[in-house]
Structure 1
Amino acid sequence: MTTRKLPLLPLRGIMVFPYMIIHLDVGREKSIAALEEAMVQDRIIMLAAQKDASTDNPTPEDIFKIGTVAEVKQLLKLPGGTIRVLVEGLYRAEITEYVTDSSHYEVEVKEFNEESEPNLELEALSRAVIHQFEQWVKLSKKIPPETLVSVVVVEDLGRLSDLIASHLTLKIEDKQELLNAIEVKDRLEKLCEILSREMEILELEKKISGRVRKQMEKTQKEYYLREQLKAIQKELGDKDDKTVEIAEYRKKLEDGNYPEEIIERVNKEISRLEKMSSSSAETGVIRTYIDWLLALPWNEVTEDRLDINVAEEVLNQDHYGLEEVKERILEYLAIRKLADNMKGPILCLVGPPGVGKTSLARSIARAMQRKFVRASLGGVRDEAEIRGHRRTYVGAMPGRIIQGMKTSGSKNPVFLLDEIDKMNADFRGDPSAALLEVLDPEQNNTFSDHYIEAPFDLSKVLWIVTANGIHNIPRPLRDRMEIITLAGYTEEEKIQIAKRYLVDKQRKEHGLSEKQLQLSDATLKKLISDYTREAGVRNLERTIAKVCRKVARQIVQEDKKSVKVTVQNLHVFLGAAKYQHRKAEENHQVGVSTGLAWTEVGGDVLPTEVTIMKGKGNLILTGQLGDVMKESAQAGISYIRSRAEEFNIPADFHEKQDIHIHLPEGAIPKDGPSAGITMATAVISALTGRKVRSDVAMTGEITLRGRVLPIGGLKEKVLAAHRMGIKTIILPSENKRDMDEIPANVRKQLEFVLAENMDEVLKCALVSE
Structure 2
Amino acid sequence: MKIFSLHPEGRITEKLPILLLDDFVLFPDTVVSIVVSTPKGIKAIDEAIVYNGNRIFAACKSAFGCRDPFDTENPRYGTVAYIQRHMSHTDISYRVVLQGEYRAEVIKRSKKNNLPYVTVRSLIGNPYYPPPEEPELVALLRSIQQSFSQYAEVSKKVNQELLSDVLRIENLEKVCNLVSHTLPLKTERKLELLAQEDLKARAQQVYETIERETEVASLQKSIASKVKSRMDKTQREYILNEQLKEIRKELGKDEAEEDEFDEIEKNLNARGLPEEVLAKAKKELRRLKRLQAMSPEAGVLRGYLEWILDLPWIEQTTDNPDLERAETILNEDHYNMKKAKERILEYLAVRKLTDATRGPILCFVGPPGTGKTSLGRSVARALGRNFVRVSLGGVRDEAEIRGHRKTYVGALPGKILQSMKKAATINPVFLLDEIDKLSSDFRGDPAAALLEVLDPEQNNAFVDHYLEVPYNLSKVLFIATANSLHTIPHPLLDRMEVIEVPGYGENEKLQIAKQYLIPKQLAENGLGEAHITFQDEAIFDIIRYRTMESGVRNLEREIAHCSRKLAREALAKGYGTEEKPIGSFSRTIRVSTLSKLLGNRKYKHDLVYTESRIGVCYGLAWTETGGTMLPVETVRFEGSGELIITGNLGDVMKESARIALSFLRSMGQELNVPNENFTKYDFHIHVPEGAIPKDGPSAGITLASSLLSCLLQRAPRSLVAMTGELTLTGRVLPIGGLKEKLLAALRNGITNVILPQGNKEDLEELDKDILRALSIHYVEKAAEVFAFLFPQEETPATTLSPESSTL
Once residues 417 and 684 of structure 2 are traced to their aligned partners in structure 1, the CA distance between those partners, rounded to angstroms, is: 60
Secondary structure at the aligned position of 2:260 is classed as helix
Q: Distance in 2 between matches of 1:588 and 1:266?
A: 76
Take 2:287 and 2:606, find their aligned partners in 1: how far apart are those partners? 75
Query: Does the Cα contact within 8 Å between 1:555 and 1:563 map onto a contact in 2?
Result: no
Query: 1:223, CA displacement in angstroms?
Result: 8.4
Q: Which residue of 2 aligns with 1:381?
A: 396
Code of the aligned partner of 1:512: L
Q: 2:524 corresponds to which residue?
A: 509
Alignment correspondent of 1:722: 746
Aligned-partner Cα distance in 2 for 1:583–1:272: 71
Q: Within the alignment, does 1:754 sit opposite 2:778 as a pair?
A: yes
1:564 aligns with 2:579: no
Unaligned runs of 5+ in 2: 1-247, 576-584, 794-807
**Residues 505 and 770, structure 2, Cα contact 8 Å, conserved in 1:** no
CA distance in 2, matches of 1:327, 1:314: 13
* Structure 1 residues 620 and 282: alpha-carbon distance in aligned structure 2, compared to 1, 3 A threshold: closer
* 2:550/2:743 contact within 8 Å kept: no
After alignment, is 270-279 or 432-441 more displaced?
A: 270-279
Task: Tell me how far apart the structure 1 counterparts of residues 688 and 482 of structure 2 sit (CA, whole Å).
Answer: 31
- What residue number does 1:202 align with? none
Give the number of aligned pairs: 539
Larger radius of gyration: 1
Q: Which residue of 2 aligns with 1:704?
A: 728
Q: How does 1:302-701 map to 2 (within 5 A)?
A: 302-513=317-528, 515-559=530-574, 561-582=585-606, 586-587=610-611, 590-666=614-690, 668-701=692-725
Q: CA-to-partner distance for each residue in 1:687-726, whole Å, 9 max, x for gaps?
A: 3355422243221121221111222221122122234443
| Cα drift, residue 680 of structure 1 | 1.8
CA distance in structure 1 between the aligned counterparts of 2:275 and 2:607, rounded to whole angstroms: 71
Counterpart residue number, 1:18:
none
**Native 8 Å contact 1:535 1:600 kept in 2:** no
Tell me the distance in 2 between the aligned counterparts of 1:747 and 1:435.
40
The CA distance in 2 between the partners of 1:248 and 1:678, in whole Å, is: 74
Offset at 1:370? Answer: 0.9
Q: Does 1:738 align with 2:762?
A: yes
Q: Does the 8 Å CA contact 2:484/2:624 hold for their aligned counterparts?
A: no
In 2, Cα distance between equivalents of 1:623 and 1:274: 69
Deviation at 1:404, TM superposition (A): 1.6
Q: Output the CA distance in 2 between the equivalents of 1:511 and 1:713.
A: 40
Structure 1 residues 247 and 363 mapped into 2: Cα distance closer, same or farther (>3 Å)? Answer: same
Which residue of the other structure, out of 300, 315, 321, is the alignment partner of 1:285?
A: 300
What is the deviation of 1:412? 1.0
SS at match of 2:466: coil
Contact 2:388 2:422 survives alignment (8 Å): yes
Distance 1:741 1:505 in 2: 29
- Give, as a single letter, the amino acid of the residue that structure 2 aligns with 1:596: L
Distance 1:242 1:693, change over 3 A: same
For 1:294, the equivalent position in structure 2 comes to: 309
Q: Note if contact 1:727-1:750 (Cα within 8 Å) is conserved in structure 2.
A: yes
Given that residues 507 and 769 in structure 2 are in contact (C-alpha distance below 8 angstroms), is that contact kept between their aligned partners in structure 1?
no
Matched residues in 2 for 1:265 and 1:619: separation?
70
Cα deviation for residue 511 of structure 1 reads 0.7
Paired residue for 2:274?
A: 259
- 1:174-189 matches, within 5 Å, as none
In structure 2, give the amino acid aligned to 1:305.
N
Structure 2 counterpart of 1:296, one-letter code: L
Following the alignment from structure 2 to structure 1, what is the Cα–Cα distance between the partners of residues 558 and 315?
44
- Counterpart Cα distance in 1 of 2:743 and 2:505: 7
> Matched residue of 1:564: which SS?
strand
Cα–Cα, structure 1 residues 695 and 255, in superposed 2: closer, same or farther, change >3 Å?
A: same
Identical residues among aligned pairs (%): 54
The Cα of 1:642 is off from its aligned counterpart by 0.9
Residues 420 and 466, structure 1, Cα contact 8 Å, conserved in 2: yes
Counterpart CA distance in 2 for 1:538 and 1:226 is 65
For residues 22-421 of structure 1, the aligned pairs below 5 Å read 241-421=256-436
Per-residue CA shift, 1:283-340, capped at 9, x if unaligned? Answer: 3233222222222221222111122221111111111122211111111111122222
* Paired residues of 1:594 and 1:694 also in contact (CA < 8 A): no
Give 1:526 deviation, angstroms. Answer: 1.0
Q: 1:428 to 1:516 in 2, by over 3 A?
A: same
Give the CA deviation at 1:591.
Answer: 3.8
- The residue type paired with residue 715 of structure 1 is K
Give me the whole-angstrom Cα distance separating, in 1, the residues matched to 2:288 and 2:658: 76
Structure 1 residues 591 and 467 mapped into 2: Cα distance closer, same or farther (>3 Å)? closer
Q: Deviations over 1:100-135 (max 9, x none)?
A: xxxxxxxxxxxxxxxxxxxxxxxxxxxxxxxxxxxx
Q: Please state how far the C-alpha of 1:246 moved relative to its aligned partner.
A: 2.8
Q: 1:180 maps to what in 2?
A: none
Structure-2 change in CA distance of 1:266 and 1:721 (3 Å):
closer
CA distance in 2, matches of 1:633, 1:274: 74
Q: How far apart are the structure 2 equivalents of 1:715 and 1:393?
A: 50
Contact kept, 8 Å, 1:352 with 1:488, in 2: the verdict is: yes
Q: Is the 8 A contact 1:584 1:694 kept in 2?
A: no
Residues 542 and 410 (structure 1 numbering): CA distance in 2 closer, same or farther, change over 3 Å? same
The aligned counterpart of 2:6 is none
Map of 2:45 onto structure 1:
none
Instruction: Give the structure 2 partner of residue 237 of structure 1.
Output: none
Alpha carbons 1:690, 1:766 under 8 Å: kept: yes
Q: What is the CA distance between 1:614 and its match in structure 2? A: 4.2
User: Any idea what SS the aligned residue of 1:569 has?
Assistant: helix
Residue in 1 that maps onto 2:789: 765
CA distance in 2, matches of 1:265, 1:409: 21
**In structure 1, C-alpha distance between the alignment counterparts of 2:437 and 2:666, rounded to whole Å:** 46
Q: Distance in 2 between matches of 1:292 and 1:583?
A: 58
Which letter does structure 2 place at the counterpart of 1:243? E
Query: What do the CA deviations read for 1:529-572 (whole angstroms, capped 9, x no partner)?
Result: 22222232222222222211211111112336333322112111
TM-score normalised per structure 2: 0.62
Report the CA distance between 1:424 and its aligned residue: 2.8
**Residue 514 of structure 1: CA displacement?**
5.1
CA contact (8 A) 1:354 1:535 kept: yes
Amino acid in structure 1 at the alignment position of 2:416? I
- Provide the aligned C-alpha RMSD in A: 2.8
TM-score scaled to structure 1, two decimals?
A: 0.65
Instruction: Summarize deviations over 1:20-49 as a string: whole Å, max 9, x none.
Output: xxxxxxxxxxxxxxxxxxxxxxxxxxxxxx
Change (3 A) 1:403 1:602: closer
Contact 2:483 2:624 in 1 (8 A): no
* AA of the residue aligned to 1:325: A
**CA distance in 1 between partners of 2:287 and 2:618 (Å):** 77
Secondary structure of 2:571's aligned partner: helix
Name the amino acid aligned to 2:507.
E
